[in-house]
């Protein structure tokens, strides 16, 4: 299958390029019943974390009021889903709106502070004039109703990965399957949620490099971070001639998790060398050099850039332009860059061929 970015839609072909391979985990899934006061305290203590991604709290005050009314009147409320990470923190996979509605009402204020530092007082709204709770703040409820609300139960489905130990990438796949809301997140957006850390921020900054933008032929940042994912792909393939295993998606997950602090030797070295290599590639090959047959061929780009970054110290010894022209005229390399591009054997062959033709290795 050809590995390309379509010019008008950066996601389409790249996103569907690989044949899926099952990744097996040993997962524990069990329910917990938390009181609403317990949920509020866990939030205050930082034991519940909502991933940092584009979506914010989007419910209106009426939606949140109906939820609170359901707890007060004993109506059923759907469970939330927590992924329990290795630090025993509760990562919210599904249920952000319900959790924050509870927290806000018990606090007495709806939503976050405005740009002027003000918050809206949370009075239950839209419940109808005949509803005894309509228009009331939490501290205006009868003491009996306050206790009832604080002691009301919200069920959580807890998910914890048991095996493989030390490779907690199952959160990505769980998030991917439960992430079915209005506009589902794309793979790199999910990674930024699950493997949150300094490395994701550093990749985003590196993605703004002017030479890099000209190489991929995309002056504007991709709103779903497909360009960041491509950068992660290059990073992951550095030094991976023998270690890559299909599927590519899981290979990227593992790299993101392993280097999420941004403090590893590989991440520091990559982020230092990448802009230098990008500048050199642009200078020697010009803009959009990997658009071999129209669109951007990701497989040609990922292997060439990864090998150059890996062998950065040897770059002054070679004529990059001449070697690149020889590379793209090699039929075996073209096959590796256009057919079954994420198969384990193909990726190993593609990286090895770049090393052999460009560096004589």
List the domain boundaries for the chain: 26-163, 186-359
pLDDT band at 6; cut points 50, 70, 90: very low
- What average pLDDT does this structure show over 105-118? 86
Residue of 54 and 227 predicted with greater confidence: 227
pLDDT at 273 exceeding the cut of 50: yes
Residue of 191 and 326 predicted with greater confidence: 326
pLDDT at 215 exceeding the cut of 50: yes
Residue of 167 and 286 predicted with greater confidence: 286
Residues 6+ apart with CB under 8 A from 209: 274, 275, 278
Residues 6+ apart with CB under 8 A from 341: 1, 2, 3, 17, 18, 298, 299, 347, 350
Residue of 28 and 214 predicted with greater confidence: 214
Q: In terms of DSSP H, where are the helices of the chain?
A: 12-15, 36-45, 61-73, 96-107, 143-151, 170-178, 187-194, 198-206, 210-216, 226-237, 248-258, 265-285, 298-310, 320-328, 331-336, 344-359
The per-residue pLDDT for 4 is 41
The per-residue pLDDT for 13 is 40
Does this model's pTM top 0.75? My answer is no
pLDDT at 28 exceeding the cut of 60: yes
CB 3 within 8 A of CB 346: no
Spatial distance between the Cα atoms of 4 and 347, rounded to a whole number of angstroms: 15
Spatial distance between the Cα atoms of 99 and 97, rounded to a whole number of angstroms: 6
pLDDT band at 16; cut points 50, 70, 90: very low
pLDDT band at 180; cut points 50, 70, 90: low
Spatial distance between the Cα atoms of 48 and 341, rounded to a whole number of angstroms: 40
pLDDT at 14 exceeding the cut of 80: no
Q: Which residues on neighbouring strands pair with residue 84, listed in sequence order? A: 90
The per-residue pLDDT for 160 is 79
Query: SS3 of 91, please?
Result: strand
Tokens of 282: 């642009």
pLDDT at 70 exceeding the cut of 80: yes
The per-residue pLDDT for 336 is 93
pLDDT at 65 exceeding the cut of 90: yes
Spatial distance between the Cα atoms of 294 and 298, rounded to a whole number of angstroms: 12
The per-residue pLDDT for 235 is 96
Report the phi/psi class of residue 254: left, alpha or beta, with left for phi > 0 and alpha for psi in -120 to 50. Answer: alpha
| Count of Cβ atoms closer than 10 Å to residue 309 Cβ | 22
The per-residue pLDDT for 12 is 31
How many CA atoms within 13 Å lie on the side-chain side of 267? 18
Residue with tokens 């866990």: 42
pLDDT at 314 exceeding the cut of 50: yes
């Amino acid at each position: 299958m050809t590995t390309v970015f379509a010019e008008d839609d950066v996601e389409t072909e790249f996103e569907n390029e690989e044949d899926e391979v099952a990744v097996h985990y040993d997962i524990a899934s069990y329910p917990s019943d938390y009181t609403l006061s317990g949920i509020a305290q866990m939030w205050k203590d930082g034991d519940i974390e909502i991933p940092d991604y584009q979506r914010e709290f989007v419910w209106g005050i009426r939606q949140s009021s109906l939820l609170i009314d359901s707890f007060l009147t004993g109506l059923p409320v759907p469970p939330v889903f927590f992924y329990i990470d290795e630090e025993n923190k509760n990562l919210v996979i599904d249920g952000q709106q319900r959790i924050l509605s509870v927290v806000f009402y018990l606090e007495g204020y709806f939503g976050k502070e405005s740009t002027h530092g003000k918050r809206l007082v949370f009075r239950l709204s839209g419940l109808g004039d005949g509803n005894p709770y309509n228009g009331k703040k939490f501290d205006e409820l009868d003491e009996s109703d306050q206790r009832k609300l604080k002691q009301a139960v919200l069920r959580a489905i807890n998910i914890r990965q048991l095996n493989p130990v030390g490779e907690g990438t199952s959160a990505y796949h769980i998030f991917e399957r439960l992430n079915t809301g209005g506009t589902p997140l794309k793979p790199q957006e999910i990674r930024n949620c699950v493997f949150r850390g300094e490395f994701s921020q550093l990749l985003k900054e590196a993605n703004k490099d002017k030479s890099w933008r000209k190489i991929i032929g995309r002056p504007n940042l991709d709103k779903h971070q497909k360009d960041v994912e491509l950068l992660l792909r290059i990073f992951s393939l550095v030094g991976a001639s023998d270690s890559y295993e299909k599927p590519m998606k899981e290979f990227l997950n593992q790299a993101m998790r392993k280097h999420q602090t941004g403090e590893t030797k590989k991440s520091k070295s990559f982020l230092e060398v990448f802009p230098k290599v990008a500048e050199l590639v642009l200078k020697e090959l010009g803009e959009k050099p990997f658009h071999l047959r129209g669109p951007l061929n990701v497989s040609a780009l990922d292997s060439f850039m990864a090998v150059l970054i890996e062998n950065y110290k040897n770059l002054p010894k070679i004529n990059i332009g001449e070697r690149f022209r020889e590379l793209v005229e090699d039929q075996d390399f073209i096959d590796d860059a256009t057919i079954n591009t994420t198969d384990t054997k193909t990726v190993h062959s593609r990286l090895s061929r770049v090393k052999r033709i460009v560096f004589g290795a």
